[in-house]
Chains A and B, each alone.
Chain A
Amino acid sequence: MEINLDNYRNKKAVIFSGRERGRLVRDQIGGNNLDEADEITFVIPDDVYAIASSFILGLLGQTIRSLKNAGKNPEDVIRIPEGFESTFREAFRQATQTECLL
């Protein structure tokens, strides 16, 4: 399954953020399709330089948790786009946290 972020932005907008917006994109794609996909790839326009982890958590949080629960490594299914490795890995870590330190 391919997610082309160019379809989900205004012209010239170069930042993707917000859990709520991530969820809206997820709803438009179909959350179940994402959870059942064998492979998820991204097409990211060249000028986009920031994807906040909140957006990734809204878009893929549920999918990451489903993969983790099924004993799979999210990175084997969700192909991390080049240049966004740290953001995606951080979102993978955040999505699977179960304990609060307090």
Chain B
Amino acid sequence: MKKVDCKRKTILILLAQKRGYRNALKRWWRRIRKIQKVDSKKELRNSSLCHYYDRSVCSMGRKQPKNISRPEVPQNFSFIENCEKTCIFLKDLVSSVQNNKTKKIYLDQSKCTNIDLCAETVTAVLLKDIGDNYKIKLQGKYPDDYELKRIVCASGITKYLKVVNYNPEDMCLFPIVKGRKVKSQANESPSKDIEAEKLINYINECLNKCGWQIVKDSKAKFAKAFVEILDNAEEHSQKINWWITAYSKELASKKIECHLVLFNFGISVYQSMQKLPLENALRTRIESLIKKHQSRHFFSKKWDDETLWTLYSLQEGSSRFYAQGEENKDRGQGLSDLIQFFQEIGESDDGETPVMVMVSGNVYIKFDNDYKIVKRNKNGNERRQIAFNHSNSLEVPPDKNKVMKLSSTFPGTLYSFKFIIDDKHLQKLQKEK
């Protein structure tokens, strides 16, 4: 029988324990790192769009996972007319993807009475992301309404996912373009300039159908408006991609309805403005205005500080880069330029006014020429201001039909323009000139 050295045995046990602790520590550290990796902002930035979307709106509750997910498409599927329910639908769509149980997504549009390009485009982009990143089958039902079905086939989800290739003569599509921010170079034009030019050529084609042509001045205005939106998307959203698309449809002879959509995912205007340093003069001014609204009990479910911040960000000179120094005093021009440009777009002969909608985070703003952006003077400086009320004052709440807080979130910023190109109205304008 072998004699065991007790002292040696104790050392061996201690060594094994030490090794065990070390291995356990390693395992624990690896697990922690893994968790940190998943949670890190960088990982989130590089993850799929649906993952990002879901993470941004997940605080709003999630439905029970099912094998077949049937997110309810609202009857009025539109960011312009039914933004709240459209955002809820998108939230349901992405949250159904974020569990391993869902094998199929079924979109039933049969009961839709209105479908607009922005809602259809955002859905198409998210579905494309689902198709690319998840093993989930996509199925759906076209709207029962024949005209809506044609629109969806010509410009909607099935077109983008290449299920159909339908190109009717009375409709013209500017296919969805996915652009991305690239490092700027002095002697190379960025993709946003090139895509904006293509979009302007597309608008020119629409005008040509009515026998008109876009003049150099108007081309420049369109160009500046589009590139400013894309510039904002690249500079402020923290996500590198943006999407543009357009669609036009002949309503009558020489009368065309145009719809343009530009959007990006990422942080909202409000979230971006929150990056203003605490001691910044602009932040102090905005916060004092918020206090005024609070003290007068203006805040409600549809009007709060997030909506206020977003509205204030539209005013000329408001920018998260606003600083005390001279260098950044000229920031915050883009949105004012855009609103001014929109005001100059014409109406149709039967009085249909153009509409522009901006959705960012929980805020919905509708521009339809009822309220104008006007230049105001302060200490010899001219600045453009729009407050969406009759006194054009930021100290009183805006029209609740034009600026409102949404209970659902769009994790990004979306601009949608809808206007009519009408030969009769353009001829009338020319005669007046």
Chain B: CB-nearest residue to A65: B326
Q: Are A101 and B316 in contact (CB under 8 A)?
A: yes
Q: B197 to A17, Cβ gap below 8 A?
A: no
Tell me if B185 counts as interface (CB < 8 A to partner A). Answer: yes
In the complex, A35 Cα to B330 Cα: how many Å?
18
- Asked whether A53 lies within 8 Å of B224 as measured between CB atoms, the reply is yes
A22 and B197 alpha carbons, distance in the complex (Å): 18
Q: A15-B197, A101-B317 are in contact. Are A54 and B223 (CB under 8 A)?
A: no
Q: Is the CB–CB distance between A87 and B220 below 8 Å?
A: yes
Known: A10-B189, A50-B223. A100 touches B315 (CB 8 A): yes
Does B132 have its Cβ within 8 Å of any Cβ on chain A?
Answer: no
Question: In the complex, which of the residues A13, A65, A93 contacts B193, with contact meaning CB atoms closer than 8 Å?
Answer: A13
Asked whether, in the complex, the Cβ of A54 is within 8 Å of the Cβ of B219, the reply is no
- Give the contact-size bracket for chain B: 35 or more
Asked whether B282 lies within 8 Å of A101 as measured between CB atoms, the reply is no
Contact A54 B334 (CB under 8 A): yes
A-B contacts, CB under 8 A, total = 130
CA distance A16 to B188 in the complex (A): 10
Task: Please tell me if the beta carbons of B223 and A98 are within 8 angstroms of each other in the complex.
Answer: no
B333 A94 Cβ-Cβ under 8 A = yes
Known: A18-B231, A52-B223, A102-B285. A93 touches B382 (CB 8 A): yes
* CB proximity to B under 8 Å, residues A1-53: 7-10, 13-21, 24-25, 27-28, 49-53
CA distance A93 to B340 in the complex (A): 16
Q: B190 to chain A: which residues have CB within 8 Å?
A: 17-18, 21
Q: Which residues of A contact B220 (CB under 8 A)?
A: 49-51, 87
B10 within 8 A of A: no
What separation, in Å, do the CA atoms of A97 and B375 have in the docked complex?
13
Q: Closest approach, in angstroms, between the C-beta of A70 and any C-beta of chain B?
A: 14
User: A74 at the A/B interface (Cβ < 8 Å)?
Assistant: no
* B184 sits at the interface (CB 8 A): yes
Bound-complex Cα distance A10 to B182 (A): 14
B383, A95: Cβ atoms closer than 8 Å: no
Is B68's CB within 8 Å of the partner chain A? no
- Given A15-B189, A52-B228, A57-B330, also A21-B317 (CB < 8 A): no
B337 within 8 A of A: yes
Instruction: Tell whether, in the assembled complex, residue B329 and residue A97 are in contact, meaning their CB atoms are under 8 Å apart.
Output: yes
A17 & B329 in contact (Cβ 8 Å cutoff): no
A55 to chain B minimum Cβ distance, whole angstroms, is: 9
Contacting pair A49 B219 (CB below 8 A)? yes
Contacts of B381 in A (CB 8 A): 97-99
Bound CA span A102–B292, Å: 13
Considering the chains assembled together, what is the distance between the CA atoms of A25 and B189 in angstroms? Answer: 11
The answer to whether A13 touches B194, judged by C-beta atoms less than 8 angstroms apart, is yes
Report the Cα distance A25→B184, complex, angstroms: 10
A34 to B337, CA, bound (A): 26
Task: Report A32 CB to chain B, min CB distance, Å.
Answer: 16
Tell me if B189 and A13 are in contact (CB < 8 A): yes
User: In the bound complex, what is the Cα–Cα distance between A7 and B316 (angstroms)?
Assistant: 32
Interface flag for A83 (CB, 8 Å) = yes
Task: For the complex, give the distance between the alpha carbons of A10 and B281 in Å.
Answer: 40
A-B contact pairs, 7 of them (CB 8 A): A10-B189, A16-B189, A54-B227, A100-B315, A101-B378, A102-B289, A102-B317
What is B's interface to A at a CB cutoff of 8 Å? 184-190, 192-194, 196-197, 216, 219-220, 223-224, 227-228, 231, 235, 281-282, 285-286, 289, 312, 315-318, 322, 326-327, 329-330, 332-334, 337, 376, 378-379, 381-383, 385, 394
Sample of 11 further A-B pairs with CB below 8 A, known A10-B188, A17-B223, A94-B330? A13-B193, A15-B194, A16-B193, A18-B184, A20-B235, A27-B186, A87-B224, A97-B381, A99-B381, A100-B285, A102-B312
